[in-house]
A = this chain, B = another copy of it.
Amino acid sequence: MNEEIKKGRLFWITGLSDAGKTTIGGMLFDYIKSKKNDVVWLDGDCLREVYQNRDYSEEGRKQISYSNMRLGKLLTDQGIDVIMSVIGMRDEYREWNRSNIERYLEIYLKVPLEELVKRDSKGLYAKALRGEALNVYGINLAFEEPKSPDLIILNDGRKPPREVLDEIIQKLDL
């Protein structure tokens, strides 16, 4: 394989469940795809389908996260831009990305927990609050907020997704 390929970018869209990662990830994909062909969108839930992995334990989540990141590296090393929309709420993942992926861009969709519990599209937060679901970040699984993302967006619902996308495009100069 030719070693002189210009590396692709990894857009790591991170946030808790219901923070808007899939919506924004898909919109960012469409935007970049309209300008160039070599971009892919890997959503956390789709990747779980690829692996057929239903393990939501901390260890299971860790294993999947590293598979996702290694896949991100494999693709960006071949010059492909990768948009990855995943929870990924661990410092060690972000550090791995930063050390291993040359053109790494971290976008944190920050949403207050009260708002997430209100959205609760999968009923996960309610379940966790009733003690029926284990390992829900923010309720019964501690999370580590990104400490030095390239971009923090308060995605509490006051801004429509289109404006969030515009902010990403503008701030990251895309």
Contacts and interface: CB of A to CB of B under 8 A. Distances in A.
B79 A33 contact: yes
Interface in A2-50: 2, 5, 26, 29-30, 33, 36-42, 46, 49-50
Given A1-B29, A2-B30, A52 B36 contact: no
A136 interface: no
Given A49-B70, A67-B51, A67-B52, A37 B1 contact: no
> How many residues of A sit at the interface, in one of the four size bands?
20 to 34
Interface of A: 1-2, 5, 26, 29-30, 33, 36-42, 46, 49-52, 63, 66-67, 70-71, 74-75, 78-80
